[in-house]
Amino acid sequence: MWAERRASSVIKPTDQARVGEVVLTDPTQETEIAVRIWRPSQSVPRDAVKAGASDRWLPLVIYVPSWGGRRSENDVLLSTIASAGFIVVAMDDISHDRPDPETDPADETVRLAPFSMQTAQDYASFPTTSERRTRLGYDKLQRVLAALRGGQPTTMLEGADFSRIAVVGYSFGGAVAARALALDKRLAAGVDLDGWVIHTPAAAGLKRPFLAVYASLPSSERTWSHRPNYETKIGWEDFGCLLALARSSGSDVFMVDGARHSDFSDQLYTEDRWRDWRPWAPRRIAPERMHAIIDTLLVQFLVGHLILRGSPPRTTFAEVRSVTEIEGLIPSAPRPGASSAN
């Protein structure tokens, strides 16, 4: 526990990236979109130098946050990505946007509703809710891209290469990233951090590079419960989609042993993380270890597909396993258990 509290005080956004708050002008709705932008502190990043002079424009990474999340929820990770030679643009979740009088009432209800998976009704309506909300998230992503391409009066975007764009999302944002990669051919790659693929167009297969990294699954014994756990039930169903993507589309899909959903955001570094500790609970991964794993996987993937093209992520961590490696550990007839994403 002491090590966890110590890690939270020393793991901070890197000083190898600059960060600034920018308000984009949305050309489609004549509204403003607040974003946070990171860019490398170095004028010519190391990986761009390796790639050659013709490749010194900076690829763009768009970050989509969790359900209800803010653009600041993953500062540590996004600053690390920027320091590797990217311009990173993070937006807020759609729930923080101003109401639009022309929005369909059903869309507006879903946009503002908190995530809930507590009842049979929540579970039954999830396919519709997921489709509707990821569509709204995707629409906002498209508005952000249109605003960026339209030109903005800020030095934070100087040198952005709009021919090389990746989308990264956490939780609900990961589902939006999966949807975007399936629908927008202008995107070169996508990353899903413990979100979902089920009930998105990505479930049918992807043709471009996709990296998905997930928290560890509960053991087969824990799928039996005294009461239904609908989050876990959806998690098992999503696992089937992930297996199919790994096999048919060649997507890189990994699980991190000992990781929890919140470990994929800056919640990993909070001082009170130790309060979740229970003597009977599975051992949780240390913050500094999770930090190293996620940084390595994402930077290798993004650099390999947008800068030094053709080098896939190398899983050099004992805690990281491909979903195809652990397929045999999955119960043949899963029942509701415990855990999952939002």
Number of independent structural domains in the chain: 1
For position 241, what pLDDT does the model report?
87
pLDDT tens-digit series, residues 149-183: 988 778 899 999 999 999 999 999 999 999 999 99
- Say if 170 falls within a structural domain: yes
Q: Are 284 and 260 in contact (CB under 8 A)?
A: yes
Give mean pLDDT, residues 119-144. Answer: 92
Q: Are 184 and 298 within 8 A, CB to CB?
A: no
Q: Please report whether residue 336 resides in a domain.
A: no
What is the residue range of 275's domain?
Answer: 2-329
> Please, are residues 69 and 77 in contact by the beta-carbon 8 Å criterion?
no
**Rounded average pLDDT over 103-128:** 86
Check residues 106 and 339 and name the one with the higher pLDDT. 106
With CA atoms as reference, report the closest residue to 63 among 137, 4, 114: 137
Instruction: Say yes or no to pLDDT of 244 above 70.
Output: yes
Summarize the confidence of residues 43-51 as an average pLDDT. 53
- The answer to whether position 302 is within a domain reads yes
SS (H, E, C) the chain: CHHHHHHHHHCCCCCCEEEEEEEEEECCCCEEEEEEEEEECCCCCHHHHHHCHHHCCEEEEEEECCCCCCCCCCHHHHHHHHHCCCEEEEECCHHHCCCCCCCCHHHHHHHHCCCCCCCHHHHHHHHHHHHHHHHHHHHHHHHHHHHHHCCCCCHHHCCEEEEEEEEEEECHHHHHHHHHHHHCCCCCEEEEECCCCCCCHHHHCCCCCEEEEEECCCCHHHHCCCCCCHHHHHHHHHHHHHHHHHHHHCCEEEEECCCCHHHHCHHHHCHHHHHHCCCCCCCCCCHHHHHHHHHHHHHHHHHHHHCCCCCCCCCCCCCEEECCCCHHHCCCCCCCCCCCCC
Number of residues that make up the chain = 342
The pLDDT, as a whole number, for residue 78 is: 96
Note the pLDDT of residue 1.
35
In a domain, 334, yes or no: no
The mean pLDDT of 78-105, rounded to a whole number, is 91
91-105, 225-239, 293-307, range with the lowest pLDDT: 225-239
Of 239, 254, 251, give the one whose Cα is nearest residue 325. Answer: 254
Residue 341 lies in a domain: no
Minimum mean pLDDT range among 3-17, 105-119, 151-165: 3-17
Average pLDDT, the chain: 82
Residue 342 domain flag: no
Residue 306 in domain: yes
What digits encode the pLDDT tens for the residues 285-336? 888 899 999 999 999 999 999 998 766 656 679 999 998 887 765 555 444 3
Backbone CA torsion sign across 150, 27, 77, 210 = negative
Average pLDDT (240-246) is 88
Return the CATH number at 98: 3.40.50.1820
Query: Which pLDDT score, from 0 to 100, does residue 237 have?
Result: 85
pLDDT at 282: 64
pLDDT, mean of residues 95-99: 88
Within 10 Å of residue 228's Cβ, how many Cβ atoms?
Answer: 15
